[in-house]
A and B are shown apart, each in its own frame.
Chain A
């Protein structure tokens, strides 16, 4: 009815929930898998867009890794400003580089809580999706992440997909819970559905009284598709 131009905000003082997606774009992801990942990210966008709480708090960072790693969102972007990144598969698997970029982004893009200062961020949620062994040095960047000064500051979940996964190695790389699944289209879909559900659940949980119990607020993935690696 009214065509008046309404320039409105999402409000002030809402603590941001950073969500990082670390996506394997190496050559072995070529063809169907990378297409599935693209559809998965689209699914994530539409799922979160439909959730009023998540939409207000979620900020997204996407790191792709092939021969090189790249923070394709250039930092943490508000969910409403987040658009589908360009994804293509080629090259090797610089997971170490991706972990390094994650650490850099945590250092520069994350707002720390300082008493008396503007509100800091919630503990970030990090999802890592990879289909093979890293081809670069990952030990040092992993150690750097673990030893970040502020201690246990992220909730990280690592999922290995496809037949190229060595369970022991991925377990050694991961920080936090590790899962594996196959590389079919439906598995990718299940994975991104789980990511979306987790993000929605955590964004709601942080508005609950016992906020911060993020991992317990997260739903478990469908064990028929995504198996826990003990």
Chain B
């Protein structure tokens, strides 16, 4: 059995690790797996001794990371001294369970996503996945590092719980300290890198992250050039992703606009970013238009993480194809609201749409970007009314303050109080109140209060 010997391992780690025969050969090195299923080992090709010093830095950077962030990345835990008695350069990392697969298998094109939908996954799972990807970058960027090689083969994903793990953390970049080891993958690199005018840093990561998030949500590269820019394909690709880089849904320049854009995905169509929540559309515009050539203007990984987390509260199911997607309350008249997957008109009763407001100082409430879409049986979770929180990655443990029921007699939605406090609603001087177990009628334009210090909700669509 192959064996790796570790270099002064930290407490709690073995001094040597027995490996299986299974390996995964990459461009930089070969990954081996321990027989106990706990560890993976990356051994670099050749013996790049200078790499060992860099690994030492990376280990120091990631020695302390919060518990809830550990799951997103695979930092080096210890250096490898030798493999089968032969000196080598490498490191040990946590082994990712076998249930994970490369992200590319789920998101490369609509056919890859459809294969998952047939197994019961939905677009909501992809939304969670995109959030996990952003969270991984938040961890890295929070440490002052950049990844420099963000693409869909450098993430392992499990759609069943929407979790993702970032690979190649050993190649992180700290400007002026840790240099970039690779340039990145075409299609994900920021235009200024393709153009060879910049080196990878946190701002070029922001572009790659935007591409990857959108790829995960739309199953296509939102920056994919659709025309050639030279007679030589290589030169053409360089130009198409670099100097001539152009958002596929640029409102004025339609050169990269897919022919099937906006056609329902399940009719050989192509998802448009206009299906996304208002906040996600705003970030996309910022990343691919305003910030395309102004790296400082690109949204940060934290911006994406937050917007993706909150988008979960805006989903609505299609009664025909059973997909979930952001309810397009912004489309008027309501007849224009259709399912982006099968094209069916969203059937009545229309959901409740709330806009969340937050109290700022003594001056009153301010509107936020957040909306909450509610239908029959939908719960209003505790995190929604807590101004310090965004939706957690899982709501299995999350309590709820209220839920929505359809009132068949009055043909209106009712909000049922499931909490100890009193919920009040007021519109045009009329006031309703509900204690635990009782309910209020959801009325257009009403302000709903959930108690002191809580977020407030404004009813922008009473539904029905």
Contacts and interface: CB of A to CB of B under 8 A. Distances in A.
B114 A212 contact: no
Task: Tell me the interface secondary structure of chain B in the complex.
Answer: loop
B104 A52 contact: yes
B198 to A, nearest CB: 13
A6 interface: yes
Contacts of B219: 11
B108 A209 contact: no
B233 A15 contact: yes
B226 interface: yes
Contact of A209 (B114, B120, B185): B185
B233 A121 contact: yes
B105 interface: yes
B266 interface: yes
Interface in B248-271: 256, 258-260, 265-270
B108 A53 contact: yes
A116 interface: yes
Interface string A1-38: 11011111111111100000000000000000000000
Interface stretch (B186-194, B291-299, B345-353, B377-385): B186-194
A53 B28 CA distance: 20
B109 A117 contact: no
A211 interface: yes
B268 A7 contact: yes
Contact of A4 (B220, B226, B227, B320): B320
Contacts of B237: 15, 211
Contacts of B267: 7
Given A15-B237, A119-B225, A207 B268 contact: no
B119 interface: yes
Contacts of B184: 209
Interface string B109-150: 111111001111000000000000000000000000000000
A11 B109 contact: yes
Given A6-B117, A10-B110, A208 B185 contact: yes
A156 B166 CA distance: 38
Given A2-B321, A4-B322, A9-B268, A115 B185 contact: no
A11 B220 contact: yes
Given A11-B219, A115-B229, A118-B228, A56 B109 contact: yes
B376 interface: no
A189 interface: no
Given A4-B322, A9-B260, A212 B233 contact: yes
Which of under 10, 10 to 19, 20 to 34, or 35 or more describes the interface residues of A? 35 or more
Contacts of B256: 13
B215 to A, nearest CB: 10
A113 B104 contact: no
Interface string A47-68: 0000011001000000000000
Contacts of A13: 224-226, 256, 258
Interface string A83-118: 000000000000000000000000000001111111
A12 B230 contact: no
A122 interface: yes
29 contacts: A2-B117, A2-B118, A2-B322, A7-B267, A8-B265, A8-B266, A9-B109, A9-B269, A9-B270, A11-B110, A12-B226, A14-B224, A15-B233, A15-B237, A113-B228, A113-B230, A114-B231, A115-B228, A116-B228, A119-B225, A119-B236, A120-B228, A121-B233, A207-B186, A207-B187, A209-B183, A209-B185, A211-B234, A212-B233
